[in-house]
């Protein structure tokens, strides 16, 4: 065994083997994989091997396509068969809502270049004769579905990697991980120690235990999962005899997936009452073992399956397989570097290893080699969870996710498990006023307020919900008078120290504000791509406050912390210490003047000022800025004073027409202003020029991260541009990820959409190919299967000159 390596991958399941292969393929030498037993000894060996491209997140869909297409490459590189069967698949809908879901999936597939088709029940039955038509209303046909041999795939990755000089040490268990002063790791195994530059946790069922070796509590949990093999099914026997194969099937209402296995069928189900396995610790002696079958638990789903596919009942059950595999709280993988640990990477929580393993391996290898995953992995980034994602939270969320695996998650749906988890001091006050809450990065925040007499509950739907009316009222109150919004979902970081200004100046692409001022600034990576959009406040005395998106708090801290070394700078999150309320609207100045002795006139406190003043007898930091496009202020006070601030504003604002508003209204108001949002319009695949943020980049600065990449980019104009559209919608607005077409061709995609209540129009923001970005007419946006006429607007729909917010 080597004593030095560039990378040690811990774990020889399908994911670890894929990471190893991708590192070796990219040219890294001295990469080794350490497996405590035979390869595949975790959940990989007993998987059903099914694969498909259907996923709620288009970036994960793309990654799944990559994985499936990779199998021929690794077969050729290794000489090892992966046992690939591409049969195509039929995804069956039993309700109109499910058809909407499938239409959305088909629409996304159109801009991703994937051939999926909506088909009738009759066509579905022609493709899959076992189904009873009476239970279905339509289906989606996906040609890129099938199954593989799990052991074949894992060995093919490993052999292909070995052919590229990577090494695999089987029957070698990692028992300790020791961080070294040189930034590397000592990987202590039962056969000796390897000093490596990088370590990758691909421990699958033991990812938690491997994480704990580095002091981490990763949010992953294994669930028991069962599938059954039936006896002979005549259609399957006929297929065997004719050398063909039945298609894959997902029956969403039955909550089952199915494929042919020999002369019968394999039927798997994600039952509602799923059972976690080894909730606290995975035993080290668990290897190539199955769990006790529990048919009673999956009987309700099987009964539906037997009704929907009568031939299955006649065939009977031949065998039951029960095995554990791991999930993250939202069901997507956990990948990437860990904040605060040098060269420590994770690739775990991969619940669909045969659809996702290849893409996960590619992303992680790119990230390790180039410092960037190379494509959009926001939905899988381990940084989407913080320390608040405790084992109990993970347990509740994983169970919820498992039980809903085949259920629709509507765009306006907030899932209830493990909530409320993180509440702010005004939570109860807002609740008493009818707030309907959502959770972002674990924090409860008001989405909208049900008026007196209306139940504070939102109907989940793809169309406009029962919140439409009240949200409209909230928007109008902001535009006409003054609205009050809790800004719990804004991240707030304090950056202080003698080098704070110099350091921030290099970290951010924008101009640093003068003392007492705010500035908007993008943050870029070395490739000149957007990794943050911040509001920076200069509080004087080498103190800056940096406000960003709350869901990206960990993501941003990982980047900032990694660049902190050797500077006289401290960063601190104020998430627990500072609580905020924003007031916005033409009467917000009047309101602030009533509760503050400070001079808050337009002259004393112009747009983009930042002041420490007294508000409602409290020491507050106030920034004159608003995401609504109105005159507005963001007021930050110590956490214990938030309720007092709230009550004082409410009392003083009563006769000014003050109304509470929530995230839904804010979304509508910002669409009317064409303001982009992190994780929607701003993601690490876009450049500032594409996103329309070029004006916030300070070219006069000699140096900032991403500058040289931007200089190179400057010679050729951006290939796509963020645009605003007015859509001729009916009762449903765009939500994001719909294709934008022109002359019958897909030329872009929607990033957010919704109804602009004050302009009375359905609005969508989205990226389109730059060559058509100047056109106004001729666009179409597909909403729930219908192409709707869309007109591009050259200017924001509301107050295009920005006079109101500068008033
Ligand atoms: C019944 C069942 C059916 C399934 N069906 C499908 C399906 O149809 N399609 C699909 O895509 N997925 C399916 N899955 C899920 C699939 O099995 C997982 O997505 C996949 O196996 C995850 O692979 P992994 O490499 O992350 O983890 P694992 O397979 O658990 O691999 C982790 C490896 O790390 C090793 N290891 C851990 N700790 C150490 C250590 N300290 N030192 C050395 N080695 C260590 C382990 O021995 C193990 O081999 C199914 C799972 C089950 C249980």
Q: What is the pLDDT of residues 204-248, one digit of tens each?
A: 999 999 999 999 999 999 999 999 999 999 999 999 999 999 999
- 576: which residues sit within 8 A by CB, 6+ positions away? 639
Residue 272: the pLDDT is: 87
Cis peptide preceding 420, ω within 30 of 0: yes
> In the prediction, which pLDDT does 673 show?
98
Residue 566's pLDDT is 66
- What separation in angstroms does the CA of 654 have from each of 453, 471, 657, 658? 20, 19, 6, 6
The pLDDT score that the predictor gives to residue 664 is 98
**How high is the pLDDT of residue 729?**
97
Say if residue 311 is exposed, middle or buried (CB neighbours under 10 Å; 0-12, 13-18, 19+).
middle
Angle between helix 58-78 and 96-112 (nearest 10): 60
Give the model confidence (pLDDT) of 777-789 as tens digits. 999 999 998 999 9
For 410, 606, 628, 665, 773, the CA distances from 673, given in Å and listed in that order, are: 26, 20, 8, 13, 18
Strand partners, 534: 521
Report d(CA 440, CA 658) in Å as an integer: 25
Other Cβ atoms within 10 Å of 116 Cβ, number: 24
Out of 48, 64, 70, 178, mutate this one to test ligand 1's pocket (max ligand atoms within 8 Å of CB): namely 48
Q: Which stretches of the chain score pLDDT less than 50? A: none
State how far the Cα of 42 lies from the Cα of 206, in Å rounded to an integer.
8
* Closest Cα to atom 51 of ligand 1: 47
CA gap 621, 546 in Å, rounded: 13
Closest CA to 13 of 147, 204, 175: 204
Is the CB of residue 34 below 6 angstroms from any atom belonging to ligand 1? Answer: yes
Measured between its terminal Cα atoms, the distance across the chain in Å is: 70
> What is the model's pLDDT at position 111?
85
Cα–Cα dist 317/605, whole Å: 75
For β-strands 344-348 and 192-201, DSSP reports them as parallel
Between the CA of residue 189 and those of 239, 286, 441, what are the distances in Å?
A: 49, 18, 36
- Predicted confidence at residue 54, as pLDDT, reads 83
In ligand 1, which atom is closest to the CA atom of 44?
21
Q: Look at residues 662, 669, 692, 663 and name the one whose alpha carbon lies nearest to residue 766.
A: 692
* Burial classification of residue 123, based on how many CB atoms lie within 10 Å of its CB (0-12 exposed, 13-18 middle, 19 or more buried): middle
Would the CB of 204 count as within 6 Å of ligand 1? Answer: yes
| Probe target for ligand 1 pocket from 8, 35, 43, with the most ligand atoms within 8 Å of CB | 43
The bridge status of strand 618-623 relative to strand 610-615 is: antiparallel
Closest atom of ligand 1 to CA, residue 34: 43
Count of C-beta atoms within a 10 Å radius of residue 182: 10
Location of structure tokens 């405590």:
36
């Amino acid at each position: 065994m080597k004593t030095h390596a560039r990378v040690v991958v811990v774990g020889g399941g399908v994911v670890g083997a894929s990471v190893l292969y991708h590192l070796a393929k990219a040219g890294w030498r001295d990469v080794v994989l350490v497996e405590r037993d035979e390869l595949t000894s975790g959940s990989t060996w007993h998987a059903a091997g099914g694969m498909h491209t259907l996923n709620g997140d288009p970036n994960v869909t793309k990654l799944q396509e990559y994985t499936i297409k990779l199998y021929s490459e690794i077969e050729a590189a290794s000489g090892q068969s992966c046992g690939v069967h591409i049969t195509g698949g039929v995804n069956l809908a039993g309700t109109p809502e499910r058809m909407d879901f499938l239409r959305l999936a088909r629409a996304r597939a159109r801009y991703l270049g994937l051939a999926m088709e909506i088909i009738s029940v009759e066509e579905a039955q022609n493709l899959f004769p076992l189904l009873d038509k009476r239970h279905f209303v339509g289906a989606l046909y996906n040609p890129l579905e099938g199954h593989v041999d799990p052991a074949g795939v894992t060995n093919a990755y490993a052999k292909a990697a070995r052919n590229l000089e990577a090494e695999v040490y089987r029957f070698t268990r990692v028992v300790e991980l020791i961080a070294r002063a040189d930034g590397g790791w000592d990987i202590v195994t039962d056969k000796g120690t390897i000093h490596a530059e990088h370590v990758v946790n691909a421990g699958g069922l033991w990812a938690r235990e491997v994480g704990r070796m580095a002091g981490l509590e990763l949010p992953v949990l294994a669930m028991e999962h069962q599938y059954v093999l039936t006896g002979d099914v005549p259609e399957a026997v006929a297929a065997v005899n004719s050398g063909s194969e039945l298609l894959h099937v997902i029956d969403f209402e039955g909550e089952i997936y199915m494929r042919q296995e020999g002369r019968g069928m394999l039927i798997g189900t994600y039952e509602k009452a799923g059972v976690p396995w080894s909730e606290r610790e995975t035993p080290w002696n668990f290897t190539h073992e199955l769990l006790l079958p529990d048919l009673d638990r999956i009987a309700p789903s099987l009964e539906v399956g037997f009704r929907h596919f009568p031939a299955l009942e006649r065939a009977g059950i031949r065998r039951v397989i029960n095995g554990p595999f791991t999930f993250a709280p939202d069901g997507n993988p956990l990948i990437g570097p860990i904040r605060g640990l040098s060269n420590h990477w994770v690739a775990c929580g991969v619940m669909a290893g045969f659809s996702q393993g290849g893409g996960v391996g590619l992303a992680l290898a790119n990230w390790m080699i180039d410092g960037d995953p190379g494509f959009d992995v926001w939905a899988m980034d381990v940084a989407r969870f913080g320390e608040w994602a405790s084992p109990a939270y993970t347990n509740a969320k994983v169970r919820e996710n498992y039980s809903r695996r085949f259920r629709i998650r509507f765009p306006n749906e907030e899932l209830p498990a493990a909530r409320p988890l993180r509440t702010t001091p005004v939570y109860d006050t807002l609740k008493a006023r009818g707030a309907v809450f959502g959770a972002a990065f674990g924090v409860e925040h008001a989405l909208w307020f049900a008026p007196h007499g209306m139940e504070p509950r939102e109907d989940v739907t793809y169309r406009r919900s029962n919140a439409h009316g009240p949200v409209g009222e909230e928007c109008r109150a902001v535009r006409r008078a003054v609205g009050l919004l809790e800004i719990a979902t804004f991240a707030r970081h304090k950056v202080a120290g003698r080098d704070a200004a110099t350091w921030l100046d290099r970290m951010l692409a924008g101009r640093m504000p003068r003392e007492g001022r705010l500035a908007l600034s993008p943050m870029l990576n070395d490739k000149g791509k957007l990794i943050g959009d911040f509001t920076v406040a200069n509080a004087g005395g080498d103190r800056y406050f940096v406000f960003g998106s709350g869901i990206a708090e960990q993501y941003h801290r990982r980047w900032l912390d990694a660049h902190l070394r050797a500077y006289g700078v401290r960063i601190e999150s104020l998430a627990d210490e500072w609580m905020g309320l924003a007031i916005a609207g033409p009467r917000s100045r009047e309101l602030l003047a009533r509760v503050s002795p400070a001079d808050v006139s337009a002259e004393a406190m112009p747009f983009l000022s930042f002041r420490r003043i007294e508000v409602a007898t409290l020491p507050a930091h106030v920034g004159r800025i608003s995401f609504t496009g109105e005159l507005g202020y963001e007021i930050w006070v110590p956490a214990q004073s938030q309720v007092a601030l709230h009550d004082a504003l409410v009392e003083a604002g009563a006769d000014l027409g003050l109304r509470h508003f929530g995230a839904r209204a804010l979304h509508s108001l910002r669409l009317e202003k064409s303001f982009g949002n992190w994780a929607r319009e701003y993601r690490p695949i876009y450049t500032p020029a594409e996103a329309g943020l070029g004006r916030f980049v300070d070219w006069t600065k000699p140096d900032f991260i991403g500058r040289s990449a931007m200089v190179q980019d400057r010679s050729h104009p951006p290939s796509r541009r963020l645009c605003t559209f007015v859509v001729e919608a009916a009762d449903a607005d765009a939500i994001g990820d719909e294709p934008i077409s022109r002359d019958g061709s897909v030329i872009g995609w929607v990033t957010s959409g919704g109804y602009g209540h004050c302009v009375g129009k359905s609005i969508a923001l989205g990226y389109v190919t730059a060559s058509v970005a100047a056109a106004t007419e001729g666009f179409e946006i597909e909403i729930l299967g219908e192409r709707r006429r869309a007109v591009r607007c050259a200017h924001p729909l509301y107050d295009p000159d920005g006079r109101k917010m500068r008033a």
